[in-house]
Amino acid sequence: MSTMRDIIVTEVALRDGSHAISHQYTTDQVVRVAKALDQANIPYIEVSHGDGLAGSSLQYGLSRTHEMELIEAAVSVCSRSKIGVLLLPGIGTIKHLNEAAKLGVGMARIATHVTEADVSAQHIARSKELGLVTVGFLMMSHMAPVGKLVEQAKLMESYGADTVYVVDSAGALLPYEVKERIEALKESLHVNVGFHGHNNLSLAMANSLAAIEAGATWIDGSVRCLGAGAGNTQTEVLAAVLDRLGIQTGIDVYKMMDLAEEIVAPILNAPQEINRDSLVLGYAGVYSSFLLHAQRAAKRFGLDSRDILVELGQRKVVGGQEDMIVDLAAEIARRAAHNEALA
């Protein structure tokens, strides 16, 4: 790695990991994880529904515990780490952001589809007014040409974002594609640049290192890979790798290993691994949080979930269109029945 610099790590298991466990976090689980992460000196811990503030719904998945309870609980046990929230304009509102700020969060990440940064203006501005560390989060970054990504990132910077992220929501980017995107943002922006990866093609770590080499200074991870799809860059592994590279994070690697093994592993319904469905997410470029929705629809209609995921990719369906998954599965089932009748 040619350039050594300090890296700020944001832990996303208590937000992105919500997808992997069908948004069933309990207050006790969040308290135990947040407290251990705080003791391991993780700078930022993101806590909210997988689809951000106010994401709990029939469309995105109902939370077992109200996210504001989880946020308040996490804030109460952290003395070093700052709690962050994700907000997708159109799902979460200024009201939800104000409520989270009152509970003591220190960071807000405002997320839009990679071509829709203009919908984030008021939310970024309000986050800044509230005195929060404010991040622009450009999701599904593989779906836009580099020039378009830069244009959208500059919009978020103009609204007041302190950092703008390249977000590989599908885990579809290859290392050279990450490098060219991060380099383009570094050349065009005056604010920090970050990277959020998913491991659907087993490239989250390689992509995170490519991002750092290209100039990113904010990197996301999920402890024990607890994130949507095949999870994110594994935080405890990231901390160990960066330590080996002489890159400072301030994270206690041993404590991260311990909490991953003893606290987070028991929360997982099954070990996070790259199976055929999560592999298809990366291969087809599909939003990682669609995985469980597609699996349920496949079971309901007697289909192969891969057929649903591949067609979602072909149709370029993006986050916020989860309701299309059942419709598409029904359509595929009808098509199959029609073809069978003709045969």
In order, the DSSP letters of 159-173 are HT-SEEEEE-TTS--
Percent of the chain with pLDDT over 70: 96
DSSP secondary structure string for all residues of 275-340: -HHHHHHHHHT--GGGHHHHHHHHHHHT--HHHHHHHHHHTT--TT-THHHHHHHHHHHHHHHHHH
Reported CATH class of domain 8-267:
alpha beta
- pLDDT tens digits, residue range 235-272? 999 999 999 999 999 999 999 999 999 999 999 988 89
In this predicted model, what pLDDT tens digit does every residue of 14-66 receive, in sequence order? 999 998 998 999 999 999 999 999 999 999 999 998 888 987 655 666 777 79
| Position 287 confidence tier, pLDDT thresholds 50, 70, 90 | confident
Residue (of 299, 307, 302, 319) closest to 283 by Cα position:
307
Taking only the tens place, the pLDDT of each residue in 144-153 is: 999 999 999 9
**DSSP secondary structure letters along 111-134:** EEETT-GGGGHHHHHHHHHTT-EE
**What pLDDT score was predicted for residue 49?**
87
Residue type, 162: D
Is 81 marked as binding a ligand? no
Average pLDDT of the chain, as a whole number: 93
What CATH architecture applies to the domain 276-342?
Orthogonal Bundle (1.10)
Q: Using the predicted structure, report yes or no on whether residue 201 has a pLDDT greater than 60.
A: yes
338 annotated to bind ligand? no
Output the CA torsion sign for 317, 320, 326, 331: negative
What amino acid positions are annotated as catalytic residues?
19
pLDDT in tens, 135-181: 999 999 999 999 999 999 999 999 999 999 999 999 999 999 999 99
| 287 labeled part of a ligand binding site | yes
For the chain, where do the domains classified as CATH 1.10.8.60 start and end?
A: 276-342
In the chain, which residues fall in CATH 3.20.20.70? 8-267
- Binding residue per annotation — 64? no
In 10 A of CB 335, how many CB atoms? 10
Nearby residues of 259 by Cβ (< 8 Å), 6 or more positions away: 33, 36, 37, 40, 223, 236
